[in-house]
Chains A and B, each alone.
Chain A
Amino acid sequence: MRSPAQLILLLVVLSDLAVLGTTRLSSCIRVLAAQGLLLGLLPVLLAPHLTVHAVSLGLGTVVVKAVVLPWFLAWAIREAAVRREIEPLVGFIASQLLGALALALAFAIAARLPLPTPQQPLLVPVSLATLMIGFLVLTTRRKALTQVVGYLILENGIYLFGLTQTESVPFLIELGVLLAVFVGVFIMGIVVFHINREFDSLDSTRLTELSD
């Protein structure tokens, strides 16, 4: 283990694989909260020296990704009274295999991208892997809430990728990232509420019934 940052990145990948494997929605949200905590620690560890900027970024990330969003999702679960994910569109085993494949692809692609190497070489592959796995969860799960979790993991991946580029960045970009997340969840929340109200369930494959 070369550095704490490397350990955190490995744990992020493990949390991605854990989301792929779990059926309980509450476990998904807990893993997402843990991931938010890990992501909040990263700017603090990656900064060459401790600045107010890095600490505040980390703290803000923790508050939003590890506290606010999971609490909001937990409230949504209670409102919709749904607890478990049903068989995804490709099957659990196949989605885990696809996640492993995404991991391999991420490492292969990251080696070939013409990027300047950041001081933490695992950052680019892990960000690509998180992005792909988030996309996988978003597209293959049936319950809208799990799809929200997938979208949030996707945003986490983008956030990680952003960490490679931002050494000394204006505060605005961080705000932009967080705002994008907030807007996305807000929209998803409205959509979830409406789906639930209209169909009395959160199975998004039933959306096809809208067209006559």
Chain B
Amino acid sequence: MTWEEVAALGILALTAPAVPGIAVKTKSFLTGRRGAPVLQLYFDLWKLLRKGTVYSRTTTWVFRAAPIVVLASLIAAALFLPLDGRAAPVGFAGDLVAFAGLLALGRFALVLAGMDTGSSFEGMGASREVTIATFAEPTLFLCFIALVLATGDVSLGGMLGAPLAAAWPGAGASLSLVGVSLFVLLLAENSRTPVDDPATHLELTMIHEVIVLDHSGPDLALILYGSALKLALFGVLVVSVFVPRAALAGPVALAVLFGGLGAVAVAVGVVESVMARLRLSRVPQLLVGAAALALFGIILQLH
């Protein structure tokens, strides 16, 4: 792990809360409002970190451990992504399994913390979260398989780095489909419209928001930061597939990455303004559609 990689990770960690802010700002702009400032999440995190914590008497150590597990797993997952477009800080053969496994670890901890409160609202959110994850995981792996086929590399550093840039001229159509599929996955895994509405506070319509109802104070700050970091990680995935940066110099590649992240946030905001939330039973269908796109990408490569 070189100093540049540590610096890149640090910048990603620092700017992650801005990504949802840009999405919210885009949404407000498109609906004619001024909206909250882009840095609103930073202010919220600062406020929450200084507050006290209230724990429910029903909960056990599982509830107290969940925010830490979520954050630690996301930071570990960030280590596998090549932020400068060439190589990742940590990598080994098959580390895409570790990436998916870390995301699953965070999800497992969060869902169990929700069930720990013994409330039916959190249980409902937990049930929906795992249902959507069941259709999101295979889609993610289909995208990974397409990338493995395109680059011939079974490590994320190679799948998103230099070999991907070499594969673009030949497999461009397939990679575009994979990128679109990853964008749909971003919307699903981060509970954005049309899968979930991050702005609503009606328990019956929430998924991610409702699981974390009982967290308070610094725990809630960790969880909110974790959600922003997860959105940023998926944004890095989408940008890496669409804009291979292996030919660019280090700082330029990073600048392109963060510009791309901003563009992804704007795209998320646009999608949220244009589409309404899907009926919950139609969300698996959306993900199967994304999987069909990724499968089409795989078929094009095998052809």
A in complex with B: yes
Q: Is the interface of B mostly helix, strand, loop or mixed?
A: helix
Known A-B contacts A1-B173, A21-B285; A96 and B292 likewise in contact (beta carbons under 8 Å): yes
> Would A107 and B303 count as touching, CB distance under 8 A?
yes
Q: Which residue of B lies closest to A1 (CB)?
A: B172
A55-82 at interface with B (beta carbon < 8 Å): none
Check if B285 sits within 8 Å of A100, measured CB to CB: no
> Does any Cβ of B come within 8 Å of A207's Cβ?
no
User: How far is the CB of B167 from the nearest CB of chain A, in Å?
Assistant: 14
Q: How far is B176's CA from A7's CA once the two chains are assembled, in angstroms?
A: 11
A191 to chain B, nearest CB (A): 29
- Interface-located stretch among B56-64, B144-152, B187-195, B293-301: B293-301
The A interface is mostly helix, strand or loop, or mixed, namely helix
Q: How far is the CA of A96 from the CA of B292 in the complex (A)?
A: 7
**Is A103 a contact of B296 with CB atoms below 8 Å?**
yes
Are A104 and B299 also in contact (CB < 8 A) when A10-B173, A17-B292, A96-B292 are? yes
Contacts of B286 in A (CB 8 A): 21
Task: Say whether, besides A1-B173, A13-B296, A104-B295, A96 and B289 are in contact (CB < 8 Å).
Answer: yes
Within 8 A of A (CB), among B256-303: 282, 284-286, 288-289, 291-293, 295-296, 299-300, 302-303
CA distance A111 to B303 in the complex (A): 8
Contact yes or no, B296 A6, CB < 8 A: no
Q: Which residues of B contact A107 (CB under 8 A)?
A: 299, 302-303
Which chain B residues in 154-191 approach chain A with CB under 8 Å? Answer: 172-173
A150 at interface (Cβ–Cβ under 8 A)? no
In the complex, what distance in Å separates the CA atom of A111 from the CA atom of B172? Answer: 21
Q: How far is the CB of A107 from chain B (nearest CB, A)?
A: 5
CB <8 Å contact, A17 and B285: no
Q: How far is the CA of A117 from the CA of B299 in the complex (A)?
A: 19
- Given A10-B173, A93-B284, A122-B303, list of 18 further CB < 8 A pairs? A1-B172, A6-B173, A7-B173, A17-B289, A17-B293, A17-B296, A92-B285, A93-B285, A93-B288, A96-B288, A96-B292, A99-B292, A100-B291, A100-B296, A103-B292, A103-B299, A104-B295, A104-B299
